Amino acid sequence: MIITDFLEKNAAQMPDDTALVEIAPQMMEKAKITWKEYALMQPNPNESGRKEMTWKEFDQMSNRFANFLFSRGIKKGNKVAILLMNCIEWLPVYFGILKTGALAVPLNYRYTAEEIKYCLTLAEADVLVFGPEFIGRIEEICDRIPRVSQLFYVGDNCPTFAESYDKLITYCTSKKPNVELSEQDDAAIYFSSGTTGFPKAILHNHESLKHAALTEQNHHGQTKDDTFLCIPPLYHTGAKMHWFGSLVSGSKGVLLKGTNPEWIIKVAAEEKCTIVWLLVPWAQDILDAIERKEINLDEYDLSAWRLMHIGAQPVPPSLIKRWKEVFPKHDYDTNYGLSESIGPGCVHLGVENIHKVGAIGKAGFGWKTRIIGADGNDAKQGEVGELAVFGAGVMSCYYNDEKATKEVLKDGWLLTGDMAKEDEDGFIYLVDRKKDVIISGGENIYPVQIEDFVRRNGAVKDVAVIGLPDSRLGEISVAVVELKEGFELSEEEFMDFCKELPKYKRPRKVIFASVPRNPTGKIEKPVLRERYCKESLVEAQMK
């Protein structure tokens, strides 16, 4: 069984049930349509900012695109890249590619023109499907990506250097393509988040995708009655693999185009969402907006919402404590994963283990874990080592990068690059990224531990702790602190607050500035290190 079989099953068994909804709040506000009005009106994407698609329509659109690709010479083993913002066409395009036996290659919407060119070249893409937000970037490089022989545009006003996706697939047959595929066939190339340098191309097969779907549905028990609110970008394994639980259960998925706290709450209420996956900054923004009385929860019916879960980064226990105070009836869960392990779920906390908040959990459904010490053996309970995972969702390789593959794949085990430890009950706690560990005066300092402490301060919205050069200690820990709107905190007050930490863990310096995060919520520490490193080197040389 492969992932496209779930789509075809849903189309056959529940053809007229809603599969996907796209909501663009900006369009509603521009048209001066209220949320209650859009919920009652016949959906008209040109007026309401809301689009719907049934399972039958989803499957038919995927088939049409697959058959169109066949007509253009695309076949098993070719690569088709996707550069779209979240939209109702995204998933049908993705599944259409898979149905041909070609590989889907999702691209990060934040990539610059040169980064797009780099990734298209690395993945050896033959085709690019892109949206209106990227016209300028693609025009800049379209004559410098010779392997990409065909450009298809999703949206109105197709540029002259591309062809219109909507027009091209209209007259293609919606009959299922006749392609023989197995679980071991290559399915997709994803790119690493690039938080430690240029992204790597990660190759997954169909077994990986299926395993991600079964893992997600096992962890969160999606049924036909659930509605999943998807906010993160679909190019990333995290959002898509969580939506895979909806695919397995045949339940509705809602794609919200925006992260405004009020939009999230409104959509959750109007669409009767039962599961909402948030990133840490969005959860914080929602709580802050409620605290500032910008959102009045009495105005919304959120009774259907049963589960809030967070992933993609360490979750501050203080945040979950705040959330449960505001939403006491919500189950909470967190998943750990990385693109090399087909996204979330290789480690899973479980809603029944909220007493272990702060941990990422234990090995997920169908997964095994190890924590490997510096000597290469399994670390003892309580000792810090590198987390490794094993399961059907582990990548095949870094595409066209044998050296990098050998560095992280050892006898089927994936070295994650994350430092972790186990408690007496076998629950795993992230300590930090291996490459983010600060060595100051011979002491190992783990930034995540300091960040969790700093977030307890009520004035702090976000924090990142990085290591910067020091002539005496080699490195010192520096806290980049982003304050909440309307709050003040002096350097002296911050340093006094940090006196509760052991002396060697206390930040030696604080910088009050914004904390950059990528679209999946991870702190972009290389950006911060580059931003402040020169300044630190000058200071070090002057001492």
Residues 78 and 192 in one domain: yes
Cβ burial 148-174 (10 Å sphere, 16+ → b, else e): beebbbbbeebbeebebbeebbeebeb
- Look at 88-102, 298-312, 464-478 and tell me which has the smallest mean pLDDT: 464-478
Confidence of residue 432 (pLDDT cuts 50, 70, 90): low
CB atoms within 10 A of CB 58: 22
> Could you tell me if residue 38 is inside a domain?
no
Residues 190 and 65 in one domain: yes
**CB 34 within 8 Å of CB 81:** no
Structure tokens given for 318: 């203080």
Residue where a domain terminates, one of 260, 282, 302: 260
Residues 431 and 446 in one domain: no
CA 503 to mean position of chain CA atoms: 35
pLDDT at 534 over 70: no
**CB 361 within 8 Å of CB 347:** yes
Confidence of residue 24 (pLDDT cuts 50, 70, 90): confident
The long-range contacts involving 407-410, CB below 8 angstroms and separated by at least 24 positions, are 408/340
Angle at 395 between CA 389 and CA 382, to 5 degrees: 15
> Could you tell me if residue 227 is inside a domain?
yes
Better-scored residue on pLDDT, 164 or 43? 164
In the Cβ-directed half-sphere of 146, how many Cα atoms lie within 13 Å?
0
Q: What values do phi and psi take at 52, rounded to 5?
A: -130, 155
Residue 405's domain comprises 361-435
| Terminal CA-CA length for the chain | 65
Confidence of residue 370 (pLDDT cuts 50, 70, 90): very high
pLDDT at 46 over 70: no
> Could you tell me if residue 145 is inside a domain?
yes
Structure tokens given for 468: 């910067």
> Could you tell me if residue 288 is inside a domain?
no
Q: What values do phi and psi take at 335, rounded to 5?
A: -125, 150
Q: In what order do the strands lie in the sheet with 474-483?
A: 460-470, 474-483, 509-512
* Nearest residue to 414 via CA among 363, 369, 362: 369
Write the DSSP string, 251-295: -EEEEES---HHHHHHHHHHTT-SEEEE-HHHHHHHHHHHHTTSS
> Could you tell me if residue 499 is inside a domain?
yes
Residues 144 and 244 in one domain: yes
Q: Is the dihedral of CA 377, 379, 380, 381 positive or negative?
A: negative
Helix then strand count (H, E) for the chain reads 17, 27
- What's the pLDDT tens digit per position in 214-272? 999 999 999 999 999 999 889 988 888 999 999 999 999 999 998 899 999 999 999 99
Residues 452 and 475 in one domain: yes
Per-residue pLDDT, 29: 60
Residues 461 and 525 in one domain: yes
The long-range contacts involving 147-156, CB below 8 angstroms and separated by at least 24 positions, are 147/120, 147/121, 148/81, 148/120, 150/72, 150/126, 151/127, 152/127, 152/128, 153/129, 154/84, 154/87, 154/89, 154/93, 154/129, 154/130, 155/131, 156/132
> Could you tell me if residue 265 is inside a domain?
no
Residue where a domain terminates, one of 383, 417, 435: 435
Write the DSSP string, 171-202: TS--SPP-----TTSEEEEEE---TTSSPPEE
- What's the pLDDT tens digit per position in 191-202? 986 544 578 999
* CATH number of domain containing 465: 3.30.300.30
For the question of whether the overall pTM of this predicted structure is more than 0.95, the answer is no
Q: Where are the alpha helices (DSSP H) in 72-221?
A: 90-100, 113-123, 135-141, 165-169, 206-220
> Could you tell me if residue 173 is inside a domain?
yes
- Look at 32-36, 75-79, 236-240, 403-407 and tell me which has the smallest mean pLDDT: 32-36
| Residues 125-134, mean pLDDT to the nearest whole number | 97
Residues 244 and 389 in one domain: no
Residue where a domain terminates, one of 210, 230, 260: 260
Confidence of residue 276 (pLDDT cuts 50, 70, 90): very high
* CATH number of domain containing 426: 2.30.38.10
Decide: residue 382, CB within 10 A, 0-12 exposed, 13-18 middle, 19+ buried. exposed
Structure tokens given for 263: 């939009």
Residues 421 and 458 in one domain: no
Taking phi over 0 as left and psi of -120 to 50 as alpha, with beta for the rest, 51 belongs to beta
> Could you tell me if residue 297 is inside a domain?
no
pLDDT at 537 over 60: no
Residues 243 and 114 in one domain: yes
Residues 408 and 514 in one domain: no
Residues 204 and 174 in one domain: yes
pLDDT at 347 over 90: yes
Residues 369 and 491 in one domain: no
Element (H, E) at 419: strand 413-422
Domain count, the chain: 3
**Could you give the CA distance from residue 286 to residue 321 in angstroms, rounded to a whole number?**
14
Per-residue pLDDT, 27: 65
- Using only C-alpha atoms, the chain has a radius of gyration, in whole angstroms, of 24
Per-residue pLDDT, 94: 98
